[in-house]
Amino acid sequence: MPKAQDGILIECDESIKAIILKIDRENSNRFIIEDIDDTHALVKKERHEELKDLLKAQLADSIREPEDSSDSD
């Protein structure tokens, strides 16, 4: 008999979805219940906050801060 799981439907653009799928793969598929399409996935409710934190960290690592180009000589 199938078991029901609490989940949260997330919607995001394709680039963010690719990062989420990568995080899920790297963590032994702990987050995603169902990969629905290019912009939607069903995520385990109890893992949603952890996934958000990992995604924020991944984005922070990949986004560079603009360099200060002002020369105050």
Q: What is the pLDDT of residues 1-57, one digit of tens each?
A: 888 889 999 999 999 999 999 999 999 999 999 999 999 999 999 999 999 999 999
Please state the pTM of the whole predicted model.
0.80
Edge-first strand listing for the sheet containing 40-44: 7-11, 40-44, 32-35
The answer to whether 66 touches 35, Cβ cutoff 8 Å, is no
pLDDT over threshold 90, residue 69? no
Nearest to 42 by CA among 21, 60, 58: 21
